[in-house]
């Protein structure tokens, strides 16, 4: 194995496009981020921002056609996953990188017992016999806090509640002690009380196994609770990439600021929640410049014309916004001139 | 599960009573008088009345019906008007032949249909898929009596591969089984394809992929068992259609099965034979449905037994 630095996962300029009859949708557009061993990275964004497609791209699980990873690199332990064979990818999926999904109700196969579904992944990657794999599945169910696991293992998904099923999914994902766990909105479909339990469970198991977690969510509360670092996605791009603390203390991208402002607050007496005006642009008809420009209160001419790069604005944060570049003041002058003429 | 089966068996009783009543009434309404027919040409009115009395046909219909049901429950379906042999004996000679034919056909329906459907679904829009779907369309559209004749013409008359008619060996079975099973196979192929395409879009298939399973394990272990659930229903219904189809197929291939027995009995107004034959066919149909329900429940444990 090649040497790699402390980043277990490093994504560089990842591009995943969908080729449909309506046109090409750049669902993931030059996305870069990295993941250190044992840390939790949050990927935040609204529906359609490309966060789920990003996570599926990491395991090369994009439905093709119409989807395709057209560019970039995904370095896992120093090796590019995009140059691996299908066979090599299969030995990584569920073993070194595993994933849990938003819908625990439909993510488990309805016709097999949950024990069998966990044991299957153990047999596949750990070369264990049927009996040992089953025993390990039962142990995993116990580990994720399912009472009377021996009995539960024999049950089928429809006999379990939503929270239970998500615990089963977590047991299945962690059964082979993966180095990276991708959790795609793991709590969205669950009751609020169960949400907290599931997040707590993921956090505890992460500590126990030293797993790095990519937590995909649209819930900033979840980010605040669970993440070390955060990537904010908008229309297929990362617009702000920073630590969780910094995101809440000192947000920089106008979109992030808008998101935080639209959170309900206990310390203020509000009649109505603040919203960001406008809607997300159609993936088939992206603005020429910054994709947030049409909704941005600060937008200037340059924002409509050129796409800003994601770049460091200080030691901690990377932001993709003209407002945080040196061009901004020059642009101001340019605008003025245009105005005069 | 056992309770479920017992309850389902009990539910078949009113169904069978209903069937017997319908069969009985229809035969009453059919024009033509069996007594006249049996007494022979030129029989005096007296002779006809005597025959009618002997057969109990002069009693009230309702009495005749209950009498019939009472005896039928003891396995006595009366005697054939044609040769005075017990109806049940006659049926028991013919039934195994029809069951053999039906089983061979259902095998063709299920095996051919499912394999074609799976190929179609896994290679969607490929040449294989398109060809299979065109053949399936033909399979559904072609009338079986014509299809059977064409098979006889090519494989028996021209190529001499299979016998033209009759029953007894595997060679005899192949053409009739294909004739009878083709339509069902076409329907099963289309059903399997659409069901499979539906299933591979499900979240649990994505989960299976995320586990690192091989594609064929994903398709056959995680996909097929789910995709089969609606297919079972179709196969069950096909078996019913198959029993009806035997009437035509047996006539085309000159096979002495139950279907042909019923047809002949209708032609000769052999009332007890028609009633017995249809009733036995109905019993088989009802129990096939029962078997489908049980299988359905086995494949889909989410079904509430109550």
Per-residue model confidence as pLDDT tens digits over A123-166: 999 888 899 999 999 998 988 888 899 999 999 898 888 888 88
User: Residue A3 has what pLDDT?
Assistant: 47
Phi and psi at A48, nearest 5°, equal 85, 5
Report the predicted TM-score, pTM, of the whole model to 2 decimal places: 0.76
Share of chain A above pLDDT 90, in %: 26
Q: Best interface-test mutation with B: which of A109, A127, A188, A216 has the largest number of B CBs within 10 A?
A: A109
B78-99 confidence digits (pLDDT tens): 888 778 888 888 899 999 998 8
Residue B210 has its nearest CB partner, among A59, A103, A156, at A59
Using the predicted structure, report yes or no on whether residue B186 has a pLDDT greater than 50.
yes
Average pLDDT over residues A164-188: 88
Rounded to whole angstroms, how far apart are CA atoms B9 and B17?
A: 13
Using the predicted structure, report yes or no on whether residue A341 has a pLDDT greater than 70.
no
Q: Which residue of B has its CA nearest to A169?
A: B207
User: Residue B132 has what pLDDT?
Assistant: 92
Pairing type for strands A180-184 and A7-20 reads unpaired
Average pLDDT over residues A44-66: 87
Share of chain B above pLDDT 70, in %: 98
CB–CB contact B302 A95 (8 Å): no
Say which residue, B207 or B57, is predicted with more confidence.
B207
Say which residue, A233 or B297, is predicted with more confidence.
A233
Using the predicted structure, report yes or no on whether residue A198 has a pLDDT greater than 60.
yes
Is cis: bond before B110, omega within 30 of 0?
no
User: Residue A332 has what pLDDT?
Assistant: 56
Residues of chain B contacting residue A104, judged by C-beta atoms under 8 Å apart = none
User: Residue A331 has what pLDDT?
Assistant: 62
Q: Which residue of A has its CA nearest to B203?
A: A107
Query: How many alpha carbons fall within 13 Å on the CB side of residue B30?
Result: 18
User: Residue A67 has what pLDDT?
Assistant: 86
Q: For chain A, say whether B154 makes contact (Cβ under 8 Å).
A: no
Query: What sign results for the dihedral spanned by CA atoms A136, A138, A142, A146?
Result: positive
> Which ipTM did the prediction report?
0.83
Using the predicted structure, report yes or no on whether residue A339 has a pLDDT greater than 50.
no
- Closest CA–CA distance from residue B229 to any residue of chain A (Å): 10
Residues of chain A contacting residue B213, judged by C-beta atoms under 8 Å apart = 90, 94, 120, 124
Residue A61 has its nearest CB partner, among B209, B225, B299, at B209
With left for phi above 0 and alpha for psi between -120 and 50, is residue A180 left, alpha or beta? beta
Q: What secondary structure does DSSP assign to A15-27, as a single string?
A: EEEEEETTEEEEE
Average pLDDT over residues B242-266: 86
CB–CB contact A61 B225 (8 Å): no
Residue whose tokens read 């097929």: B224
Using the predicted structure, report yes or no on whether residue A42 has a pLDDT greater than 50.
yes
Using an 8 Å CB-CB cutoff, list residues of chain A that contact chain B.
59, 61, 89-95, 98-99, 101, 103, 106-112, 120-121, 124-125, 156, 158, 169, 172
B78-108 in b/e form (b: 16+ CB < 10 A) is: bbbbbeeebbbebbeebbebbebbbebbbeb
Average pLDDT over residues A10-35: 89
CB–CB contact A158 B203 (8 Å): no
Share of chain B above pLDDT 90, in %: 17
User: Residue A243 has what pLDDT?
Assistant: 92
């Amino acid at each position: 194995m090649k040497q790699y630095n402390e980043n277990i996962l490093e994504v560089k300029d990842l591009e995943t496009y969908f080729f449909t009859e309506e046109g090409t949708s750049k669902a993931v557009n030059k996305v870069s981020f990295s993941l250190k061993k044992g840390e939790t990275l949050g990927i935040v964004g609204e529906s359609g921002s490309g966060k789920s497609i990003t996570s599926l791209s990491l395991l090369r699980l994009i439905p093709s056609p119409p989807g395709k990873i057209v560019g970039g690199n995904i370095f896992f332990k120093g090796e590019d996953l995009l140059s691996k064979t299908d066979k090599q990818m299969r030995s990584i999926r569920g073993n070194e990188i595993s994933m849990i999904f938003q819908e625990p109700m439909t993510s488990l196969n309805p016709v097999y017992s949950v024990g069998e579904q966990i044991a299957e992944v153990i047999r596949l990657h750990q070369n264990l016999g049927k009996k040992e794999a089953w025993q390990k599945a039962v142990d995993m169910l116990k580990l994720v806090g399912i009472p009377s696991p021996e009995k539960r293992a024999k049950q089928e998904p429809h006999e379990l509640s939503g929270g239970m099923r998500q615990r089963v999914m977590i047991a299945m994902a962690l059964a082979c002690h993966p180095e990276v766990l991708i959790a795609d909105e793991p709590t969205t479909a669950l009751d609020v009380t169960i949400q907290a339990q599931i997040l707590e469970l993921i956090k505890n198991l992460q500590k126990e196994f030293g797993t790095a977690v990519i937590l995909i969510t649209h819930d900033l509360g979840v980010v605040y609770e669970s993440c070390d670092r955060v990537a904010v996605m908008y229309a297929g791009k990362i617009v702000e990439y920073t630590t969780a603390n910094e995101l809440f203390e000192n947000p920089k991208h106008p979109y992030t600021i808008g998101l935080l402002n639209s959170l309900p607050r206990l310390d203020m007496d509000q009649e109505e929640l603040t919203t960001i005006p406008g809607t997300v642009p159609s993936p088939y008809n992206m603005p020429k410049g910054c994709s947030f420009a049409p909704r941005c209160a600060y937008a200037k001419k340059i924002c409509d014309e050129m796409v800003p790069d994601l770049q460091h604005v200080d030691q901690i944060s990377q932001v993709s916004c003209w407002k945080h570049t040196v061009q901004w003041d020059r642009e101001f002058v340019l605008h003025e001139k245009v105005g005069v003429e | 599960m056992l309770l479920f089966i017992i309850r389902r068996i009990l539910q078949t009783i009113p169904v069978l009573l209903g069937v017997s009543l319908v069969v009985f009434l229809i035969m009453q309404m059919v024009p033509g008088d069996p007594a006249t027919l049996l007494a022979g040409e030129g029989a005096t009115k007296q002779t006809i009345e005597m025959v009618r009395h002997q057969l109990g046909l002069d009693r009230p219909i309702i009495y005749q019906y209950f009498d019939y049901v009472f005896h039928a429950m003891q396995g006595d379906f009366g005697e054939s008007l044609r040769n005075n042999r017990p109806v049940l004996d006659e049926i028991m000679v013919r039934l195994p032949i029809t069951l053999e034919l039906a089983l061979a056909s259902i095998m063709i329906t299920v095996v051919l249909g499912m394999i074609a459907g799976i190929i179609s679904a896994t290679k969607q829009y490929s040449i294989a898929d398109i060809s299979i779907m065109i053949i399936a369309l033909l399979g559904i559209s072609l009338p079986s009596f014509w299809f059977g004749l064409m098979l006889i013409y090519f494989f028996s008359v021209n190529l001499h591969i299979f016998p033209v008619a009759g029953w007894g060996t595997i060679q005899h079975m192949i053409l009739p089984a294909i004739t009878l099973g083709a339509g069902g196979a076409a329907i099963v192929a289309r059903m399997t394809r659409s069901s499979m395409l539906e299933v591979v879009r499900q979240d649990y298939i994505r989960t299976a992929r995320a586990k690192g399973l091989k594609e064929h394990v994903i398709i056959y272990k995680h996909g097929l068992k789910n995709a089969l659930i609606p297919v079972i229903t179709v196969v069950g219904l096909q078996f019913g259609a198959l029993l009806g189809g035997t009437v035509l197929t047996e006539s085309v291939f000159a096979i002495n099965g139950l279907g042909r027995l019923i047809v002949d009995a209708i032609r000769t107004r052999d009332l007890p034979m028609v009633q017995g034959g249809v009733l036995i066919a109905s019993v088989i149909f009802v129990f096939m449905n029962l078997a489908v329900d049980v299988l359905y429940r086995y494949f889909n444990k989410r079904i509430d037994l109550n």
